[in-house]
Amino acid sequence: GAAEILTGFDARTYRGTEIYERYMSKKEELISEAVEHYRKLGDEAESVAASEGPDRALEKVASAADEVRRLNLRLQDERVRKQAERLANLRERFRKEFIAARNAYNDMAKLVRQKEQEGDLDKAIEIAKDFKTDVASLQQKARQLLERLERKRSEAVSAFEKELSDKMAALKKAEKPEDVDDLMKFLTAAMRSKIAQIRKKAEEPFKRISRAKEELTSFVKDMRRLEEGATGEEALKIIAPYLRSALPQVRRTAASRLLDIKRRFYPDMIYIPAGVCILGSSNPADRNPVRKNVNLPGFFIDEREVTNEQYERFVKAGGYSDPTYWDKEGWARIREFVDKTGKPGPATWSDGHPPEGAENLPVTGISLWEARAYARWAGKRLPTSDEWEKAASWNAASKRKRLYPWGDRFDEKKVHIGDENGPVPVTSQIYDKDVSWYGVRGMGGNVAEWTDTAVKGEYIVRGSSFRWINIWRVRTTYAAYRLKPSERPTHVGFRCAKDDIDIGKYWR
C-alpha cells in the first residue's frame, strides 16, 4: 500500500524542494525494508523446503512472489527485481519438486493397487514402505496406504487361520483319504499364497495332512486285508502301528479292530478288555468287601471249564513227570496226585483215564497245583479271584455288575446246581443260558472253580456246583469258599486265563 502511494506521487513537480527530498528518503527506506522482507521470506522458504518439504515452502512463496513482482513493476528497482526473480525461481523450483513427488506417489500408488489386485499384499506393502518423499502430505497418504494394506494382510491371515481351524476339525473324523481332500486342496492353495505369513502358517499343516493322507491310504488297504481274513500275529502286525496314529478316528477304529482281533486270537477263550469295574459285596457272608474303581488290565479267560479230554492230553504229554510245569511245593507232593488206581491223574479217574463218556465233563478231583501245572503246559495261567469276578459279573455297557452271570434275578433254568448225578458236559444246553455279559459260560454252577488268589494259605474257589442246592453260592460276589492248595474235591474244577497281548512288540 505504501508503494502504491509513493509511486502515485508525482515527485518531479517538487524536484529541488524539501518535499522531494523527503519523498526520495521515504522511497529508499521502503525499498530497503521490502528487499529485506522478501530476502528473509526467501530464506525461510528454503529452510521450510529442507525441513518440511516443497509443498510447505510453496505455500510461503506463492503469493509473495506475485507481490514482489508487482512491487518491482512500480518501483523499477534493481534490488527489488533481484528478490522478485529469486522468489519466482524458488516458487518454480518448489512447484516442480512437488509435482515430481506427486507423480512419484501416484506411480507408487498405481503399482500398489496392481499388486493388491494380484493378491500380492507382501509386495504391495514392501513398495509402500519403500516410498519416501519430502512432501509431508504425500508421506502422510503413503503411511495411511501402508496401514490399510497391513490391516488387509492381517485380516487375510486371520481369515486363513479361522478357516484352517474349521477345516482341521475334519481331521478328527478322517478314516479314508477322501476325508482330507478338501483340506488338502485348501492347504495346497495356501502354500501358493503370495502372503508369506499364510505360506508359513500352512507349511506345517500341509506336511501333516500329506502324511495323514498317506497314512489313511495305507490304513484303508490294511483294513481291507483284515476284512479279507488276516488273523492272529499277521492281524496284530497290521493293526498295531495305527494304535499310535495322530488321527483320532484312526486310533479309535484301530482300537476297535484290535478288540475284534483279540476276541478271535485264542480259540475257546474270551477277551476281557482292561478297564475300571466294581467288585465285591456289601454282604459280610460273601467275605468279599465292595471295591469301587478297580482297574484290571485286559486278560483272556477260557469260555468254558477245562474238560477231562483236554486234561488227558496234558497227562499223556508227560505233564506229571516234568517238573518245569510244577510249583516246588506241588512237585514235592507229586506222588499224592494219583487217580483211583494209583496212576498219575485226577482223583476222579481210573487207570490214567477219565470215566468212559466223561470226556466233555469239566475235569475235577485236581489240586490247585495240578491246575497250575496244566495251565503252564497250555501256555496259560489260573485267573485271579478279581479276574474271575469281573468276567462273571461286569456289564461294560451299562457300567453295572450283575448279581448272577446272566442278570440280577436267580433262574434255576439257567444254572446247574443241586444234582446228585454230578456235573454235565460243557457242551450242554445249560451253558447257553449260564452266560456272563462278556460271553463266558458256566460260571454260575456245574463245578466250582479254583482261582489263583490266596487268603491266609487257602485259595478262593469261585462259583457254585452240582453238589450244592443253596443259591447264594451262585452269586458272582460270593468268595467265602476257600481250600488248601493240596485238596482235590470232586466238585471243583478250573478254567484258565492268559495275560493280554503285548501289542508293543508289534509296533514298528
Domain count, the chain: 3
Q: Which of 147, 163, 183 is the last residue of a domain?
A: 147
Residue 211 and residue 307 in one domain: no
Task: Report residue 169 as a C-alpha cell.
Answer: 476339525
Task: Report residue 435 as a C-alpha cell.
Answer: 452266560
Q: How far is it, in rounded angstroms, from Cα 363 to Cα 365? A: 7
Is 152 a member of any domain? no
Is 165 a member of any domain? no
Residue 138 and residue 195 in one domain: no
Q: Which of 232, 261, 290 is the last residue of a domain?
A: 261
Is 98 a member of any domain? yes
Read off the pLDDT of residues 145-170 as tens digits, 9 standing for 90 and up. Answer: 999 999 999 999 999 999 999 999 88
Task: Report residue 296 as a C-alpha cell.
Answer: 484290571
Query: Taking 90 as the threshold, does the pLDDT of residue 428 lie above it?
Result: yes
Q: What is the DSSP letter of 461?
A: E
Query: Taking 70 as the threshold, does the pLDDT of residue 13 lie above it?
Result: no
Q: What pLDDT is stored for residue 479 in this prediction?
A: 98
Contact (CB, 8 A) for 183 and 247: no
Beta bridge partners of 461: 450
Residue 254 and residue 341 in one domain: no
Beta bridge partners of 497: 301, 381
Contact (CB, 8 A) for 352 and 315: yes
Residue 189 and residue 113 in one domain: no
Q: How far is it, in rounded angstroms, from Cα 129 to Cα 145? A: 10
Residue 243 and residue 311 in one domain: no
120 pLDDT tier (thresholds 50, 70, 90)? very high
Query: Taking 90 as the threshold, does the pLDDT of residue 128 lie above it?
Result: yes
Q: What pLDDT is stored for residue 332 in this prediction?
A: 98
Q: How far is it, in rounded angstroms, from Cα 351 to Cα 349? A: 7
Contact (CB, 8 A) for 177 and 223: no
Beta strand pairing status for 448-455 and 492-493? parallel
Read off the pLDDT of residues 493-508 as tens digits, 9 standing for 90 and up. Answer: 999 999 999 888 887 5
Averaged pLDDT score across all residues of the chain: 92
Q: What pLDDT is stored for residue 71 in this prediction?
A: 76
Q: Which residue has 529541488 as its cell numbers?
A: 16
Residue 350 and residue 448 in one domain: yes
Q: What is the DSSP letter of 382?
A: P
Residue 294 and residue 360 in one domain: yes
Q: What pLDDT is stored for residue 285 in this prediction?
A: 95
Q: What is the mean pLDDT of residues 96-108?
A: 90
Query: What DSSP line would sit under 117-143, residue for residue?
Result: HTT-HHHHHHHHHH---S-HHHHHHHH
Q: How far is it, in rounded angstroms, from Cα 180 to Cα 37? A: 79
Residue 256 and residue 282 in one domain: no
Is 452 a member of any domain? yes
Q: How far is it, in rounded angstroms, from Cα 503 to Cα 236? A: 7
Rounded to an integer, what is the distance from CA 257 to the centroid of its chain?
Answer: 20
Contact (CB, 8 A) for 235 and 358: no
| CATH number of the domain where residue 398 is located | 3.90.1580.10
Residue 238 and residue 298 in one domain: no
Residue 292 and residue 439 in one domain: yes
Q: How far is it, in rounded angstroms, from Cα 218 to Cα 318? A: 48
**C-beta atoms surrounding 251 within 10 Å:** 14
Read off the pLDDT of residues 246-294 as tens digits, 9 standing for 90 and up. Answer: 999 999 999 999 999 998 899 899 999 999 999 999 999 999 999 999 9
Q: What pLDDT is stored for residue 313 in this prediction?
A: 98
Rounded to an integer, what is the distance from CA 281 to the centroid of its chain?
Answer: 40
Taking Cα atoms as reference points, which of 393, 434, 429 lies closest to residue 414? 434
Q: What pLDDT is stored for residue 234 in this prediction?
A: 93
Query: Taking 80 as the threshold, does the pLDDT of residue 17 lie above it?
Result: no
Residue 373 and residue 484 in one domain: yes
Q: For residue 414, give its domain range.
A: 278-504
Q: How far is it, in rounded angstroms, from Cα 452 to Cα 439? A: 21
**C-beta atoms surrounding 411 within 10 Å:** 14
**C-beta atoms surrounding 181 within 10 Å:** 14
Read off the pLDDT of residues 25-62 as tens digits, 9 standing for 90 and up. Answer: 877 888 888 788 878 887 777 887 787 778 877 777 87
Q: What pLDDT is stored for residue 7 in this prediction?
A: 56
Q: What pLDDT is stored for residue 508 in this prediction?
A: 57
Q: How far is it, in rounded angstroms, from Cα 68 to Cα 35? A: 9
Q: What pLDDT is stored for residue 12 in this prediction?
A: 64
416, HSE (Cβ side, Cα atoms, 13 Å): 26
Q: What pLDDT is stored for residue 47 in this prediction?
A: 82
Q: How far is it, in rounded angstroms, from Cα 208 to Cα 167? A: 13
Q: What pTM value is reported for the model?
A: 0.70
4 pLDDT tier (thresholds 50, 70, 90)? low
Q: What is the mean pLDDT of residues 123-139?
A: 91
Residue 491 and residue 361 in one domain: yes
Contact (CB, 8 A) for 368 and 483: yes
Q: What is the mean pLDDT of residues 301-319?
A: 98
Q: How far is it, in rounded angstroms, from Cα 481 to Cα 304? A: 21
Q: How far is it, in rounded angstroms, from Cα 93 to Cα 66? A: 15
Q: What is the mean pLDDT of residues 450-479?
A: 97
Q: What is the mean pLDDT of residues 186-214?
A: 95
